[in-house]
Amino acid sequence: MQLAVWTYEGPPHVGAMRIATAMRDVHYVLHAPQGDTYADLLFTMIERRAARPPVTYTTFQARDLGGDTAELFKTAVRDAYERFRPQAMLVGASCTAELIQDDPGGLAKTLGLPIPVVPLELPSYQRKENWGAAETFYQLVRAMAGPHAPPPGTKRLPGRRCNILGPTALGFRHRDDIAEVRRLLEAMGVEVCVVAPLGATPADLARLGEADFNVVLYPEIAGQAASWLKRSFGQPCTTTVPIGVGATRRFCAEVAALAGLPAPSDDVALRMPWYSRSVDSTYLTGKRVFIFGDATHAIAAAQVAAKELAFEVVGLGTYSREFGREVREAAKAHGIEALVTDDYLDVEAAIAAAQPELVLGTQMERHVAKRLGIPCAVISAPVHVQDFPARHSPQMGIEGANVLFDTWVHPLMMGLEEHLLTMFRDDFEFHDGAAPSHLGAKASGPAELGNGRAPAAPSVPAPAAVTPHAVAGDPISWGAEAEQELKKIPFFVRGKARRNTERFAAERGIGVITLETLYDAKAHFAR
């Protein structure tokens, strides 16, 4: 076991909570010790939901371990049913309660409740959150829709009705993605029967088989259930996730083929393509970008970055080990090796070594990028409260492509402004202590120190900086003066200047890069 400050995924019972919280008329009884109720905060504080999750904890304590914890669990199940009267109930154990082996499914079955009770076997020490969500959704779909499956061999004719599968509680922009994708489908003439699990009831899951095909938005969550529906009901499913301009067009074409409709042309609201072709965007061309997140968003982001914004993808990775093969295949298409890990320290080291000019990742990569002084945009869970905006901000569809464009380009644009502010920080007229120029020389305010003139901003010497190569064992480091001079170079070529200078120093056996080394390297590469 490894002690970590951050983790990309929680235990699988948190994934089960995401499904239960997303749905209506479902209740989850979790055999867990006192203290495991921390998971409620994920929904009420981070996602800012108006109600706490539909979860009852047994909250046994240390003194209860000497007694009958099984009876404690059965009492909790009875009480939860009497109080909430759900259409269906989930029962399971947290990672800690799993060790006492009370068998929640077997215990709940002995109670003879008049509703479906779905037992969850979630191995907490082998699997994680997204797997737990996928397994929970799959078990619920089987339990609710299974009795309505047609006889084997029944043929299904193409039609224009679909289900949207995959969005959950605590999902990154899932609420907004649903609205955007539903708008796309309805504009094509496709009827949406059920959206699940978000907003669905167990009765809705029982109707899944009425649709003609399934739209899978998040394979990490809905892939397993969609495969079962295809085998049991003969329902085909989409394979394209509509993130970005190209993927949205391919998604619409795929849906049209499944529904027997002509492919639509709804590009009127797109703003990314024309800007990407304009002269204003050319300074973004070739920017080095490092991408890390769940498999769905990471693969899509790499495609958008390379094909639609002309960025250079220098890093691509995921913490979704179940989708490692797909991410590795995507990385090969960009000529790089994928990073499949759930250790944020490995990700930080990879970002430092790649020296990108933009990071697209989770909230953890946001912290890493801030430490390294690199612009960053969040593209995937895990995320914090600021990534659950009150406004409509999808990642998918036509409007999602516009949101991606804004979210990714703005950090680079604002970086240019920050560079200009930094460049003029020591100027007599623009330093932090200078009075506003439009108020005149005799302006009064905190900038004046009694003589009508603000002092020059003190020059703070920059500490010597160790390069990413030095972290990996290479002794090359930057002197304070050289590092300070490097900061005067515009941010959009600073990374290239740093790499060239370090290569120049390494080839000549220089251990510490001085101001003279920096100028020599500049002259060398300017030939």
Q: Which residue, 110, 404, 411, is CA-closest to 245? A: 404
Which residue's entry shows tokens 């371990």? Answer: 65
Domain end: 225, 259, 293, which one?
259
Of the candidates 508, 229, 455, 390, the one whose C-alpha atom is nearest the C-alpha of residue 520 is 508
pLDDT given at position 1: 47
Question: Same structural domain for residues 224 and 307?
Answer: no
- Say if residue 112 is in the same domain as residue 150: no
Is 440 part of a structural domain of the chain? no
Half-sphere exposure of 490 (CA within 13 A, CB side): 9
Same domain, 342 and 403: yes
Q: Are 474 and 513 spatial neighbours (Cβ–Cβ below 8 Å)?
A: no
Walk along the chain (527 residues) in steps of 10 and give the mean pLDDT of each run: 74 95 96 80 87 89 66 93 96 82 88 95 90 97 95 87 97 95 93 97 97 97 97 96 94 94 66 60 80 97 93 96 96 96 94 93 94 91 90 93 88 60 58 57 45 44 46 71 83 77 91 91 84
Q: Residue 162's CB: how many other CB atoms inside 10 A?
A: 24
Q: Which one from 40, 280, 387, 520 is the annotated catalytic residue?
A: 280
Please tell me the predicted confidence (pLDDT) of residue 415: 53
Asked whether residue 468 is domain-assigned, the answer is no
Among the candidates 394, 412, 430, a domain finishes at: 412
- Per the CB < 8 A criterion, the answer to whether 376 and 411 are in contact is yes
Largest CA distance in the chain: 93
Residue 518 lies in domain = 477-526
489: CATH = 1.10.8.550
Choose among 363, 353, 375: nearest CA to 419.
375
Clarify whether residues 154 and 225 are in a common domain.
yes
Nearest-Å Rg of the Cα atoms of the chain is 28
What pLDDT, on the 0 to 100 scale, is given for residue 435?
60
Q: Give the strands of the sheet with 288-293, arranged side by side.
A: 339-340, 312-318, 288-293, 358-361, 376-378
Residues 174 and 105 occupy one common structural domain: no
Where is the binding site for [4Fe-4S] cluster, in residues?
A: 36
Length of the chain: 527
Task: Find all residues with CB under 8 Å of 39, minimum gap 6, and list them.
Answer: 10, 13, 14, 17, 53, 55
381 and 275: one domain?
yes
Instruction: Identify the DSSP state of 440.
Output: -
What CATH number does the domain containing 304 carry?
Answer: 3.40.50.1980
Does residue 213 belong to any structural domain of this protein?
yes
Give, in order, the Cα–Cα distances in Å from 36 to each of 57, 132, 307, 341: 8, 16, 44, 26
What's the rounded Cα separation, in Å, for the pair 319 and 268?
36
So what's the pLDDT on residue 61? Answer: 66
388 domain-assigned: yes
As for how many domains the chain has, the answer is 4
Q: Say what the pLDDT of residue 205 is.
A: 98
Do 26 and 125 sit in the same domain of this protein?
yes
The pLDDT score that the predictor gives to residue 431 is: 58
Domain-embedded: residue 37: yes
Residue-level pLDDT at 484: 87
Q: Does 92 fall in a domain?
A: yes
Please confirm, yes or no, whether 346 is among the known catalytic residues: no
Residue 115 in any domain: the answer is yes
Residue 245, domain member (yes or no): yes
Last residue within a domain, chosen from 412, 435, 462? 412
pLDDT of residue 215: 98
- Those residues with Cβ within 8 angstroms of residue 503's Cβ, 6 or more apart along the chain or in another chain: none
pLDDT for residue 68: 74
Whether residues 276 and 381 fall in one domain: yes
Characterize 320-344 residue by residue with b for buried, 16 or more Cβ atoms within 10 angstroms of its Cβ, and e for exposed.
bbbbbebbbebbeebebebbbbbeb
pLDDT for res 469: 47
Annotated binding site for substrate, which residues? Answer: 415-416
d(Cα 522, Cα 61) in Å, to the nearest integer?
A: 66
- The reply to whether 108 and 235 lie within a common domain is no
CA distances from 474 to 183, 337, 500, 514 (A): 54, 22, 16, 17
Alpha-carbon gap, residue 56 to 142, rounded angstroms:
23
In this structure, the answer to whether residues 231 and 300 fall within a common structural domain is no
One domain, residues 159 and 128 = no
Exposed/middle/buried for residue 125 (C-beta within 10 Å: 0-12, 13-18, 19+): exposed
Q: 175, 259 in Cβ contact below 8 A?
A: no
Co-location of 287 and 337 in the same domain? yes
